[in-house]
Amino acid sequence: MTSRIYMFDVDGTLTDPRKPIDNDFGDFFQRFCDRHMVYLVSGSDLPKLQEQLPKSIIARARGVFCCSAAELWADGNAIYRLDHQFPKLLIEALDDFVSLSDYPSRFGNHIEFRTGMLNVSVVGRNADREARKAYFEWDQREGERRKFIERFVETFTEYEASAGGEISIDVAPKGWNKSKALSVVKQDHPGLPITFFGDRMAPGGNDYPLAEALRADSPNHDIVSVEGFLETWRHLSLSTIPVTRLYRHAS
């Protein structure tokens, strides 16, 4: 085991969005987990994560943070769960976001209740891969999610919202985000440097809070922003470069 901790977002970082991990990369990543201390930090709940990653990888992780770190699982057991009762007015605002959107297509499952958070999607989580891609491309042009997040946090000041994956927005009480994973990992491994891989590192993305917490905590931590599992694979494959050189300031 190396004296460095590796933390990975899942969707868009280890897998294509909502897809199972690539078989060849999965074999490689499993071997990586055998040699390194690995934590997973996902916005999804555990059942969805289990659809994307095999038991062999999940079992090798030191911990699996789900629902943007509102849950922690280790060795198949729930270490903690943070739940929250969202006000009716907030849920109605999310309903309005979906119903009043200019985007023409809907596929169902638009607001999903998870531990400590809500996930809202105009196109709906039932959308297939092609429909997800179409919405993502439209949202990139129109900025629908970004604009809604800006309005939402101004109205509901006790809550935060961030873009999750290609099609959705994660909503949680302020401070309930992936940055919670840092304090847990530091408690178990004090003083060890951390490298974090994610695909939503920019402000408004659900990997951003953890990236910012790592930057504030120590200059020895590294943040690697990727655009898909192939880029993650390429970084991890450069084993001839010393780890501290490979990841330092890679964001």
Are residues 129 and 164 both part of a single domain?
Answer: yes
Q: Is the pLDDT of residue 165 over 90?
A: no
Please check whether residues 13 and 134 belong to one and the same domain: no
pLDDT on residue 245: 38
Same domain, yes or no, for 39 and 153? no
pLDDT, position 249: 38
Asked if residue 180 and residue 132 are part of one domain, the reply reads: no
Share of the chain above pLDDT 70, in %: 94
Task: Check whether 216 has a pLDDT greater than 50.
Answer: yes
Closest CA to 94 of 38, 44, 133, 148: 148
For residue range 109-120, list pLDDT tens digits in order. Answer: 999 999 999 999
Task: List, in sequence order, every beta strand (DSSP E) within 115-167.
Answer: 117-121, 159-164
Would you put residue 240 in left (φ > 0), alpha (ψ -120 to 50) or beta? alpha
Structural domain for 183, as ranges: 5-82+176-247
Average of pLDDT values for 23-30? 96
Decide if 95 is catalytic.
no
So what's the pLDDT on residue 105?
A: 96
182 and 168 in a single domain? The answer is: no
Q: What is the CATH number of the domain that holds 191?
A: 3.40.50.1000
From 9, 45, 199, 207, active-site residue: 9
Residues 147 and 77 in one domain: no
Percent of the chain exceeding pLDDT 90 equals 89
Q: Are residues 113 and 40 in the same domain?
A: no
Question: How many domains would you assign to the chain?
Answer: 2
Name the average pLDDT for the chain. 92
Quick check: is 11 catalytic? yes
Query: Is residue 78 located within the same domain as residue 183?
Result: yes
Residue 191: per-residue pLDDT: 93
From the candidates 11, 45, 139, 207, which is the catalytic residue? 11
Looking at residues 40-59, what average pLDDT do you find? Answer: 95
Is there a single domain that holds both residue 77 and residue 104? Answer: no
pLDDT for res 173: 96
Same domain for 77 and 44, yes or no, is yes
Domain of 161: which CATH number?
A: 3.30.1240.20
pTM above 0.95, yes or no: no
- The domain boundary, picked from 152, 173, 194, lies at 173
Q: Predicted confidence band at 241 (pLDDT cuts at 50, 70, 90)?
A: very low
Among 173, 193, 210, the domain boundary falls at: 173
pLDDT computed for residue 12 by the predictor: 93
> Among residues 173, 189, 217, which one ends one of the domains?
173
Please determine, for residue 242, whether its predicted confidence score (pLDDT) is greater than 50: no
Q: Do residues 71 and 180 both lie within one domain? A: yes
Cα within 13 Å of Cα(216), Cβ side: 9
201 and 227 inside one domain: yes
Do residues 2 and 243 make contact, with C-beta atoms less than 8 angstroms apart? yes
Residue 2 has a pLDDT of 65
Q: How far apart are CA 83 and CA 100, in angstroms?
A: 29
